[in-house]
Amino acid sequence: MKWLLIALACVQLSECMIRMPLIKGKSARDVLQEKGLLEDFLKKHPYDLCSKYRVPYCSQVLDTAEPMINYLDLSYYGAISIGNPPQSFTVIFDTGSSNLWVPSVYCTEQSCTTHHRFNPSASSTYYSNNQRVSIQYGTGAMVGILGYDTVRISNINIRNQEFGLSTSEPGGFFSYVKFDGILGMGYPSLAASGATTVFQNLMSQNLVDEPLFSVYLTRQDGASGSEIVFGGIDTNHYTGQIHWVPVTYEAYWQILIDRVTINGQVVACSGGCPAIVDTGTSLLVGPSTPINNIQQSIGATPTYYGQYNINCNNLNNMPDVVFTINGVDFPLPAQAYTLQQNFDNQQSCSSGFGVTGGSLWILGDVFIGEYYSIFDVGNNRVGLAKAV
């Protein structure tokens, strides 16, 4: 299941970090906007980041807080705008891809018409050379053209940002998601049609002080506070030491897992295996044989739909699944790798492990929710620390 993440931006001083909260499900902002109450709400409730965090010399601020709703620990998304005057969209900020794209008025499929669509003729600063772009995700796809316009993330204006305008979204997957588009945060080599990434422009236009961004995800149903910080690290969201892991291949944020153990026994990756840290994947997934070993070891039972159920009463007795990365153990307790949901006052639990179609392991939101993740572009490394 491929869902994608979201993010924010930072300004010019290391003391000042602009952050955008990540939304899970349909945000209160969306509800207010639908009812025509958003503008009045923002006037009455301004948000001064510099005052809240006692930041000196801060020249740009996030002047409104974005309320968040937790959607089953499956998807995180946030708001951006494109064009002049701005047209608003929600996007997943995805470290597993590198293109920014949104639906456009050129697309009349249901997957587009059920979302906000960009209208080039309504923006005075839009231009395009009509270059084609096509992107295939684990689930879902888009086909369209590339254009250029001003992209706003929080109060940061990114000039002449290249982005995709979908003319078709084959397969219909995007008809069912809450977000409008995707903002890729992988390496430039992964960008379809050679498009310039948003983070490349944030750096080249001096809109971030440090060439890195960091991700914090809440994992309790209904919890708020998820965010991505561009250009900085929020020390309030982790405890202990940051462990740095070198990137082994600059496309995805790819690293190497030394081994996976349960109760001291190796259950996967005995000789090491490649993995990517992917904010756009809900689960922690890997090849079928080792994942099935893990499911069996934790007592998960298969269902008809490829999902594995867990007895909610057994969580306190279930073992940690330990990922050893660059010589450091990163244990996942049962509370972290179990998806807990309530339907009609009945609790159900399922495994947060899943099977991928390839050889790469994907450390998705199940893992990132437990470990604050820092994506250091300047030093080609990923930082991991225990989230709080």
pLDDT at 366 over 70: yes
pLDDT at 139 over 60: yes
In the chain, the percentage of residues whose pLDDT exceeds 90 is 62
pLDDT of residue 55: 30
* DSSP conformational letter for 159: E
Q: Where are the domains of the chain?
A: 19-230, 235-387
Instruction: Using pLDDT thresholds of 50, 70 and 90, give the confidence band for residue 380.
Output: very high
Question: What pTM does this model have?
Answer: 0.83
Same CATH fold assignment for domains 19-230 and 235-387: yes
Please say whether the structural domain 19-230 has been given the CATH code 3.40.50.300: no
CATH class name, domain 235-387 = mainly beta
Burial code of 345-363, b = ≥16 C-beta within 10 A, e = fewer?
Answer: eeeebbbbbbbbeeebbbb
Contact 93, 279 (CB under 8 A): yes
Tell me the catalytic residues.
Answer: 94, 278
pLDDT at 85 over 80: yes
Most distant CA pair in the chain, distance: 61
Kindly report the backbone phi and psi dihedral angles of residue 296, in degrees, each rounded to the nearest multiple of 5, phi listed first: -65, -40
